[in-house]
Amino acid sequence: MTYIMCVRNITKGRFGNEPGATHFLDVPSGQTPAPAHKTSKRDWIKSVQKDAITGSESGVPVGDILFYVHGYNNTPEQVVTRHRKLQNGLAKHGYKGTIISFDWPSADTALNYLEDRHDAKQTMLRLVNEGIKTFASLQRPDCRINQHILAHSMGCYVVREAFDDADDIASIAQKNWTVSQIMFVAGDVSSRAMRDGASKSSSLYRHCVRMTNYYNPYDNVLTLANVKRIGVSPRVGRIGLPDRVPSKAVDIFCGAYYKEKIDPELTALRKAHTWYFDDDVFLRDVHHTIDGAIDREKIPGRRPTSKGNLALTALD
């Protein structure tokens, strides 16, 4: 079963591109999300919790939930395709938990960038309020399920803004809804705004145990020259985190690996932004990050760089 929190409208019997109510979907294998897959929030949560359990420690059930937050210009069909690539790719390396896609309303055209940001802003708080906070409130001493987030492209903006907005609402801010691992992939947010002490990112850092940023300097979708993105500052998914970040944050430089293993001639421009979902080395690294059993500097396939961060590499 594929679990999706969809906050799109419904038009002509299909999910649209505008903000709508929150729909909790159980999408059968091989099918694309449709309104017919809606179920009650109560039943959906019970199913997610059951599938999230991966084993036990000292007789106590433990497990993992990974929230996947997609980028702009994604249809529901594209969202579920990447969801399943993550699910299958992580399972190959030992991930036994479940995945929830947070499907916010984005259109199916690259020129819709600014409208997608506007629609994301209207729905992003539900990621915390109806997703993360809900599962956090169900934590019990006799069942411990860790929550994680993997956000791609504009999905990183969705996560950062959702955390920031949630801390401005007393009824949410006063609750414990800390997540374990937050992973930004090709992040479409300002690098400068991710510095330690920046008001926009302080909630993000405060509510996670570890923040990992995967970036690729060859990502042409995130260039300032891109006409859709004119006037915005350099993005964290292209240049990495700023110099001053909390100790819980770590940069993973993917440029050398991408140029050597994915696109040596640097001709596949769009691929530089989306290759992560199809790459076994990246997915292995994500699994180790979620698992947390190995120190971040000792994860296989990572090596130190001259800039003091870490680089993704293929195993020998």
pLDDT-derived band at 315 (thresholds 50, 70, 90) equals: confident
> By percentage, how much of the chain surpasses pLDDT 90?
71
- Calculate mean pLDDT across residues 147-167: 93
Give the residue from 233, 236, 281 showing the smallest Cα distance to 256.
Answer: 281
pLDDT of the residue at 246:
96
From 17-31, 104-118, 273-287, the region with the lowest mean pLDDT: 104-118
Mean pLDDT within 37-65: 92
Contact 276, 282 (CB under 8 A): yes
Mean pLDDT of 4-10: 96
What does the pLDDT read at residue 136? Answer: 87
> Chain-wide mean pLDDT for the chain?
90
Helices marked H in the chain — which ranges? 41-52, 76-92, 113-123, 125-126, 133-137, 154-166, 170-173, 202-206, 236-239, 255-257, 271-274, 280-291
H or E segment and range at residue 100 = strand 98-103
Q: What's the rounded mean pLDDT across residues 63-83?
A: 95
Q: Kindly list the domain boundaries of the chain, sorted by start residue.
A: 41-312
Close Cβ partners of 245 (under 8 Å, ≥ 6 residues apart): 194, 195, 196
**What pLDDT score was predicted for residue 228?**
57
| pLDDT above 80: residue 309 | yes
Give pLDDT tens digits for 93-125.
999 999 999 999 986 655 456 666 666 778 888
**Distance between CA atoms of 174 and 237, rounded to whole angstroms?**
31
Q: What's the rounded mean pLDDT across residues 63-76?
A: 94
Q: Could you tell me which residues come within 8 angstroms of residue 178 by beta carbon, excluding any fewer than 6 positions away? A: 136, 207, 208, 209
Q: What CATH number does the domain located at 41-312 have? A: 3.40.50.1820
Q: CA–CA distance from 109 to each of 73, 101, 170, 256 (Å)?
A: 5, 20, 37, 30
Pairing of strands 98-103, 2-11: parallel
SS (H, E, C) 153-170: CHHHHHHHHHHHHHCCCH
Which of 103-107, 175-179, 273-277 is predicted least confidently? 175-179
Per-residue pLDDT at 173: 55
Output the pTM of the full model.
Answer: 0.94
- 133, pLDDT greater than 70: yes
pLDDT, tens only, 222-237: 986 554 555 578 999 9
Q: Residue 313: how many CB atoms within 10 A of its CB?
A: 18
pLDDT of residue 142: 66
Q: What is the average per-residue pLDDT within 206-226?
A: 89
What are the pLDDT digits (tens) for 186-210?
Answer: 999 999 999 999 998 999 999 999 9
Q: Give the tokens for residue 295.
A: 């120190």
Contact between 302 and 285 (Cβ < 8 Å) = yes
**Residues whose CB falls within 8 Å of the CB of residue 67, separated by 6 or more in sequence, listed in order:** 99, 100, 101, 102, 127, 131, 132, 147, 148, 149, 150
What pLDDT sits at residue 106?
84
Between 114 and 178, where is the model more confident? 178
- Give the separation between CA 95 and CA 59, rounded to whole angstroms: 20
- pLDDT at position 227: 46
Provide the pLDDT for residue 225.
Answer: 54
